[in-house]
A = this chain, B = another copy of it.
Amino acid sequence: MNTRTDKPATLAIVGVGLIGGSIGKAVKERNLAHRVVGIEAHTESAQWALDNGLLDAVSDRVPEDADLIALCVPSDLVASWVMDLADHPGLVFDVGSVKGPIIEAIQEHGSVPERFVPCHPISGSEKSGPQAADGSLFDGCTVVITPLEHTSDLAQQACADFWQALGANTMTLGFVDHDAALAVTSHLPHLLAFAFMEQVEESHLALTGGGFRDFTRIAAANPELWWRIMRLNRGALAQALEQYSQNLKSLAAAIDTDDEAQGLALIRAAAAKRQAADKAEN
């Protein structure tokens, strides 16, 4: 995998859940590697992925000859995998939703390998497990690459090429900026939606429409995964929540005091921004 046109001979996927499984499926469908090997502690998931053509083989460790290693384990397990693979000649990337704590956890034990490229495909789903794997999951999605200063340019480029071959757009961002932005765009909405569902009672369900379904969809996400993400990014998340609470108070106060000029201005700005987001996408 030395040039942009080479494809990896062997891709190893550590953690064959929704993301790992989708990478395997996409790579197999697009013939982007000669061999895809899965490493997955949950043997039923591993077998299912093998039986359903997401993988060519299952192994209990990363093969020596793997030239690309995708760490698709939960964020808080990434650092120990990176350290274990410090001497492996392959290029390593992860798919964690929070980058700072992973990098800091590695740095506590030494330097971050220059062949490790921190990545985050913004392709979440409320589904989980290899059974939900989707070969087009990364089509049109954004993958943020958050390299360190000493991360190998070649490794970054190879990673970007790999993601682009899966249909994704790649962008580069510092890991601190990434974590602050994702706290706003992803982690805070999940926190708000989880909290919201607490007060929904069964008798409410008949009285819901499309707005409710859309607003709460992310609350069906994997609880263990999201507990970990919110814990890992708790600093940036707390800041985002603090700003949110202020904004919510202002709007609630405008409603309470019938301050139409203020309330309507806030809602109009929100609606205009949301509409602009749709336009930016189309």
Contact = CB atoms under 8 A, between A and B. Distances in A.
Given A212-B186, A218-B215, A266 B206 contact: no
Contacts of A219: 270-271, 273-274
A240 to B, nearest CB: 7
Given A171-B206, A196-B192, A217-B214, A252 B270 contact: no
A185 B212 contact: yes
A200 B184 contact: yes
A184 B196 CA distance: 9
Q: Say what secondary structure dominates the interface of chain A.
A: helix
Given A205-B280, A230-B263, 10 more contacts: A122-B208, A142-B207, A188-B196, A195-B248, A205-B281, A211-B218, A219-B274, A223-B268, A234-B255, A238-B255
Interface of A: 122-126, 141-142, 144, 171, 173, 178, 181-182, 184-186, 188-200, 203-224, 226-227, 230-231, 234, 237-238, 240-241, 243-244, 247-248, 250-252, 255-256, 258, 260, 263-264, 266-271, 273-275, 277-278, 280-281
